[in-house]
Amino acid sequence: MTKLDQQLAALYQSIDERGRQQLNAQQITGDPILAIHEPDQRRGLTLLVTLPAHVKRNIQFCLTSLRSAAPNMYYYPSTDLHITILDLLRAQKDFQLSPAQFSQYQRVISQVIAQARPVQWTIKNVYLSPVGVLVGGFYSPVLTTIRDQIRRQCQQQGLPVMERYRTVSGHMTVARFIKQPTNPQKLLKAVDQLAQLKFGTFTSYQFSLVVHDWYNQRIDQAAPLPIGQGA
């Protein structure tokens, strides 16, 4: 295991510990948007990577057991599963971004990742979190460099980067709490049974720059950005 893998494993484990503490203390609040069953009006600008079919298939297979343990959670469909590379402009209501501004971000990010190598991924392990259930993503070190260069280049070009938090992980959220589960121990048991599963490996040859909602259900604007075309 590389040093980066160790750091990511420690990060995911700390998230898991916080999730278990809040679940056991009945401090899960959930997302009110999910509770009222209304379309999510929040929008943001995100650089993300989608998953190959075999990884999505394996994740959906494991979600069947989670659904039986916690049927009142929100489960991401395969089409919406993604890994956030960078939250450029965090999702919020009244979000506004002109086509010209979108093109500026697209140009800057394209210049950065065109000089980078493709990113290798290993998708494995299931974790609890304060917001739901995560699947761990372990990536090659080039992604850390890409993120730092994008932040730096956007700043130099006067383009805001407004992350909800500084992104260092490569996880994906596969299920979210709507409210405090009625049987937390049943959910914990299901997560423990899935904890060491491996979902597959793949290599990212492109990212996607998207304007989308919180759950990636609706994409209003998108641009595929190839990696390594100038390397």
Q: Which two tokens stand for residue 227?
A: 């990696």
pLDDT score, position 230: 52
Residue owning tokens 């469909």: 77
Q: Considering the chain, what percentage of its residues have pLDDT values greater than 90?
A: 85
What number is the average pLDDT over the span 141-146? 96
pLDDT score, position 229: 65
Per-residue pLDDT at 69 exceeds 80: yes
pLDDT score, position 164: 72
Per-residue pLDDT at 43 exceeds 90: yes
Give the Cα separation of 89 and 44 in Å (integer): 5
pTM, two decimals, is 0.94
pLDDT score, position 26: 94
pLDDT score, position 217: 92
Burial 30-51 (b: 16+ CB within 10 A, else e): bbebbeeeeebeebbbbbbbbb
Give the Cα separation of 53 and 182 in Å (integer): 33
pLDDT score, position 126: 98
pLDDT tens digits, 157-194? 999 998 877 889 999 999 999 999 989 999 999 999 99
33-37, 98-102, 113-117: the lowest-pLDDT one: 33-37
Per-residue pLDDT at 115 exceeds 60: yes
Q: How confident is the model at residue 40 (pLDDT cuts 50, 70, 90)?
A: confident
pLDDT score, position 128: 97
pLDDT score, position 36: 81
Q: How far is CA 64 from CA 58, 180, 188, in A?
A: 11, 20, 15
Rama region for 158: left / alpha / beta (φ>0; ψ in -120 to 50; rest): left
pLDDT score, position 37: 77
Per-residue pLDDT at 147 exceeds 70: yes
